[in-house]
Amino acid sequence: MNWHQLLSHKRPGETKTVAHDQTRSRFEQDFDRIIFSHPFRKLQDKTQVFPLPEDDFVHTRLTHSLEVSVVGRSLAKNAGDYLLAKYPELGKAGFTVHDFGGIVGAACLAHDLGNPPFGHSGEDSISSFFLTNEKGQFFKDKVSPKEWKDLTTFEGNAQGLRILNSRGNGGLKLTYATLGAFTKYPLSSSCEKDQERKSQKKFGYYQCNAGLFQEMADEMGLVKLGDTKWARHPLAFLVEAADDICYHIIDLEDGCRLGLVPFETVKGLLAEIIGDSYSEEKVQKIVSQNERLGTLRAMAIGQLIQECSDAFIENEEKMLDGSFDKDLTSLIPSAPLMEKIVKLSIDKIYRSKLVLEKEAGGYEVIDNLIEAFSTAVYAKYFEKPLPKHKSVLRLLPEEYEVQLGDTESIYEALQIVIDFVSGLTDSHAVRLYKTIKGYRLPV
């Protein structure tokens, strides 16, 4: 791989070459398109860890994505500064550190767009409907084996790529470089995975986007590793690192604010990451515990950005030949401390009653919504609908009905249902569930 090709500012479907504009680059346009998009705005009411939070300090998917974008931009500018010095031809072609920051910042901003309501329980529930629900199993022999694999292993990353390239989501048409940095798992659901490679832990595109991904890989010169899998775009490692940094540190901060983890425990862990720059005297001068947490979090993230930037620079050449495939946060000096934070978070935060109640409720809500809409869609478009099915389908927004009317594929129809349900906010999903179940009737 080479950086000039990897930094492609072409968009899918374009045939003409567009000059690179330094005033407002196409990568900055990507960022702006995501910010103003409907799927991004809906992240303000999607669970990060804690459900429907009343505490305004607790993060949603929206605030998490904004923070990941800020961290990713800093990582990318550090990397870009190094790369521009190492490869002078990039500067001659008009690239600056702001282009690296723009690509990674935009990809980070979009990294959670495919996540359904209620966090990971929402993902599991969509897959579980097709795997274990009798009405979901009904569709198994009506789609191809590869399509069935997509349906039974819902993946937020692949759903995100579908959203970014769906005609029903404002036609974002992001640049190849941003889409490449966005794709942490450049392989299909059905290909054989190498568990030694971090980029093959999950998958990154559905069968419906196979042609698009082939086009992306060809345009950017990604290293091919198999029939439907490639090596990562190097900037995807920075997107992953930014996400890791934020959810490790900020989930811990949220857990402390909600009283699940003692402040002294959090302070000790963050002080170890901060290292020599930590001053207990300065921390004690801060009156508010929330401000103390904020200060410690900012200093810890700053240290982790520097360590991950160094790890990226050290392994950049191996990324280009496709031989490097590890998460950067596992290679940094603070890796053992990050592991401590993960173990503490699993025990005290992710298994807390508040989170487990959200997961249990999420399974019920999502399973029932997928069942109601997939059954109704199949009845209307491929059989004969009953009055009940017609009533359910009237709850679908008009744009989804238009898309359903244009397809003759059962697989695509089911993917449209998944688009709708996974795109719901937590609150909307609960309201819709109550409506369909008859718990929420007008009086």
Query: What is the structure's pLDDT at 15?
Result: 75
Residues forming beta bridges with residue 230, ordered by sequence position: 224
Q: Cα Rg for the chain, rounded, in angstroms?
A: 22
Alpha carbon distance 369, 396 (integer Å): 11
Residues 84 and 180 in one domain: yes
Query: What is the structure's pLDDT at 264?
Result: 92
Q: Is 272 within a domain?
A: yes
Query: What is the structure's pLDDT at 58?
Result: 66
> Cβ(104)–Cβ(181) under 8 Å?
yes
Query: What is the structure's pLDDT at 374?
Result: 96
* Domain termination site, one of 353, 380, 401: 353
At 182, the amino acid letter reads F
Residues 35 and 131 in one domain: no
Query: What is the structure's pLDDT at 91?
Result: 94
> Cβ(252)–Cβ(338) under 8 Å?
no
Residues 90 and 227 in one domain: yes
Residues 183 and 47 in one domain: yes
Strands of 214-347 (E only): list them. Answer: 224-226, 229-230
Q: Is 323 within a domain?
A: yes
**Structural domain containing residue 262:** 237-353
pLDDT digits (tens, 9 = 90+) for 60-98: 889 899 999 999 999 999 999 999 999 999 999 999 999
DSSP letter, residue 48: S
Alpha carbon distance 161, 310 (integer Å): 29
Q: How many CB atoms lie within 10 A of CB 285?
A: 9
Residues 67 and 201 in one domain: yes
Residues 223 and 250 in one domain: no
Residues 331 and 375 in one domain: no
* Domain termination site, one of 304, 329, 353: 353
* Domain termination site, one of 193, 212, 235: 235
> Cβ(47)–Cβ(119) under 8 Å?
yes
Q: What is the 3-state secondary structure (H, E, C) of 256-283?
A: HHCCCCCHHHHHHHHHHHHHHHCCHHHH
For 342, the token pair is 């993960």
Intervals of the chain under pLDDT 50: 53, 56
Residues 260 and 328 in one domain: yes
Q: Is 70 within a domain?
A: yes
Residues 36 and 86 in one domain: yes
CB contact burial 14-28 (16+ within 10 A = b; e otherwise): eeeeeeeeeeebbbb
Torsion of CA 426, 429, 435, 438, to 10 degrees: -90
> Cβ(206)–Cβ(162) under 8 Å?
yes
pTM: 0.92
Residues 316 and 229 in one domain: no
